[in-house]
Structure 1
């Protein structure tokens, strides 16, 4: 099931960090994509730049008939986080996350729901209660450069 995300850019500056970046829609190696670029800094307890979008207008989306999330990505060979949020999460630092490497050629990466680990929550992951999807450069000083041309749930 192909998604049509309305991506938004968010950085650690919302909590006092100093990372900087941007999200732009552009043609990257022949594909229209959203591209996240920036500098991740750990100063001031910071450490991330991200692109994210709400599912179902921010309401709950039932993805229980699917196996996972697939991304069409091109990047700089760095590791990024794919994060999912459900309505069981009440704090902004809570998520279900899985790490992937963004190759330097267009690649489809499939991440099964079973690969997502709970972060700072006791809640169990429930794909029938999804609300938000995010891709983050996080946790270490780095240059972010990742393009995403497609996002979908797969069976």
Structure 2
């Protein structure tokens, strides 16, 4: 099995912080490059608040250039090397089929304090406010999200890859 490294192999790809402030919420966060347990990582930290109908902070990464897609159809899913504070986080995937900010395909995981590789099969992503199935051949963006309840977020990611290609 050969993985396809998506990040950090391509230094041109940058994580972007998005909070519920885009819709009037008051959650706050930051994203920084950090050294976490001796591993270079991107770290999202902040406080999720449900005040003002809010409730999320997110780091997002474009998987393809504007008006392009990443073809993940030859792979089983996503692999993330993550560490955190023991809280549950979400992975939100977007494709060109997504027309509204709240639409995505979602799957969750718990980020333990120790580094771990989390495998997220495409078949287990659940549609959220969208009526079509996830098409891994049309991936555009991934978001790592602290969402839905008040808590302090601390999530680090050191690697993002497609896994399960079946190629030698």
* 3-state SS in 1 of match to 2:140: strand
Instruction: Quote the offset at 1:115 in angstroms.
Output: 1.0
Instruction: Quote the offset at 1:47 in angstroms.
Output: 0.3
Q: In the alignment, which residue of structure 1 is the partner of 2:98?
A: 89
In structure 1, runs of 5+ residues without a counterpart are: none
Q: In the alignment, which residue of structure 2 is the partner of 1:48?
A: 56
Instruction: Quote the offset at 1:60 in angstroms.
Output: 1.2
Q: In the alignment, which residue of structure 2 is the partner of 1:126?
A: 135
What is the alpha-carbon distance in structure 1 between the residues aligned to residue 157 and residue 36 of structure 2? 9
The runs of at least 4 aligned residues of structure 1 exceeding 2 Å deviation read none
What is the alpha-carbon distance in structure 2 between the residues aligned to residue 61 and residue 147 of structure 1? 23
Tell whether 2:110 aligns with 1:109: no
Tell whether 2:99 aligns with 1:99: no
**1:79 aligns with one of 88, 93, 101:** 88
Q: In the alignment, which residue of structure 2 is the partner of 1:146?
A: 155
In structure 2, runs of 5+ residues without a counterpart are: 8-12
Tell whether 2:53 aligns with 1:38: no
1:101-136: per-residue Cα shift (whole Å, max 9, x none)? 001100000000011000001021100011000100
* 3-state SS in 1 of match to 2:69: coil
C-alpha RMSD of the superposition: 0.7
Q: In the alignment, which residue of structure 1 is the partner of 2:6?
A: 3
* 3-state SS in 2 of match to 1:44: helix
Tell whether 2:130 aligns with 1:137: no
Total equivalences in the alignment = 155
**TM-score, normalising length from structure 2?**
0.91
